[in-house]
Structure 1
Amino acid sequence: MKHLASHQVIAYPTESCYGLGCDPRSRRAVLQILKLKRRPQAKGLILIASHPRQLARYVAKDALRAALASGFWPGPVTLLLAASKQCPPWLRGQHATLAVRMTAHQPVVRLCRKHGSALVSTSANRSGQRSLKQARQVQHVFGRQVRVIHGKIGKADRPSVIRDLVTGQILRH
């Protein structure tokens, strides 16, 4: 997808809302998302993927194997996994872990497959505000700063659960 390849930010339909995303290898695009959201880099971000190989460069191999065996994926569960040594700090923030999700939501599956990579996935909103559920809302808030990919959001009424796979602790319901 040309927008992702040219370090631009997109908005796309996820399981519960529109998400802001970019190529996770693009520091420039990730910093643009953080600026748009008014979110501190230290918090880290989520990656969403359609296939395990799209996450392989970002998380430790043993952690990815454990995640695949856990039975949580594909689905709307984000897991905190040990970050690989190759994982850029602009994705994980101040953490040694990275939040990742393997989705079954077809619009995102197609987007990841077309791009050949996982994507950054954070709710399309300013930090602390409600997640946006319609393309026109995203366009109203962010204007031309993002390229909106139209499609249907999933049936989930809340963002994905975030779970630490090692401790079992649920960080977001």
Structure 2
Amino acid sequence: MAQYFEVHPENPQQRLLKQAAALLQRGEIVAVPTDSSYALACHLDDKDAVDQLRRIRQVDEKHHLTLLCRDLSELANYARVDNKQYRLLKAATPGPYTFLLEATKEVPRRVSHPQRKTIGLRVPDHKVLLELLMLHGAPLLATTLIAPGETEALNDAQTIRERFEKQIGAVIDAGACPSQPTTVVDLTPMGTGDDPVVVRQGRGALAVLGL
């Protein structure tokens, strides 16, 4: 049975977020609010949790998972970023964008793309999630909460609890999120002088990226 933490979206109760962070440390999966839709998140270094994350979403190892980072400096610890890429990242973070970049050795090989060695990274613009990341003390591995066989991201915490309460450890309810996933941009072509590639257009405006 998933625990249910109802928190204030602007002034989240630290006591509740600490309980959620403790669950993540123990290998549980937690449904978290973001500035796009709700997402499923787990500890980066917990193999069993990562496997469960993929089972819930019914995706394989070629599906890019995303590292939720507290800020741009933390993101740069987990991805190889050149000056051009950094300028684009700086313009769009925090915000509803996911960037595909070459993973550093800080990222376990089992969570990066098996052929490309890339990982999705983003810095969310959501008070509750940023507070949770601060308490956790490291990035969380996440995926947009889209139920198997569906195309729309879930944005209602109560619905998430009802549908996934036997598969996850907790739901953090900070109110409804926009029911639109992030804009996903592949920045790896910039390493060879090519333009970024828009993989998915979501909530993040392309104009912010100059695309």
TM > 0.5: yes
Partner of 2:87: 69
Question: What is the deviation of 1:46?
Answer: 0.9
Once residues 117 and 168 of structure 1 are traced to their aligned partners in structure 2, the CA distance between those partners, rounded to angstroms, is: 27
For these two proteins, the number of residue pairs brought into alignment is 170
Question: What is the deviation of 1:76?
Answer: 0.8
Partner of 1:168: 196
Question: What is the deviation of 1:53?
Answer: 4.2
Provide Cα deviations, 1:132-151, integer angstroms capped at 9, x if missing partner.
11111111221132111111
1:145 to 167, 190, 196: 167
Q: What is the letter of the counterpart of residue 184 of structure 2? A: I
Partner of 1:25: 45
Provide Cα deviations, 1:94-122, integer angstroms capped at 9, x if missing partner.
23211100122111111111111111221
1:79 to 99, 113, 129: 99
Structure 2: gaps (5+ residues) = 1-20, 202-211
Once residues 66 and 15 of structure 1 are traced to their aligned partners in structure 2, the CA distance between those partners, rounded to angstroms, is: 25
Provide Cα deviations, 1:67-90, integer angstroms capped at 9, x if missing partner.
442111111111111111332123
Structure exhibiting the larger radius of gyration computed from Cα positions: 2
Residues 121 and 66 (structure 1 numbering): CA distance in 2 closer, same or farther, change over 3 Å?
farther
Question: What is the deviation of 1:15?
Answer: 1.3
Q: Does residue 42 of the first structure (1) align with residue 62 of the second (2)?
A: yes
Q: Does residue 110 of the first structure (1) align with residue 131 of the second (2)?
A: yes
2:181 to 143, 150, 159: 159
Question: What is the deviation of 1:171?
Answer: 0.2
Structure 1: gaps (5+ residues) = none
Once residues 76 and 45 of structure 2 are traced to their aligned partners in structure 1, the CA distance between those partners, rounded to angstroms, is: 13
**Aligned residues: CA RMSD:** 1.8
Query: What's the TM-score, normalizing by structure 2?
Result: 0.73
Q: What SS does the corresponding residue of 1:131 show, helix, strand or coil?
A: coil
Partner of 1:99: 120
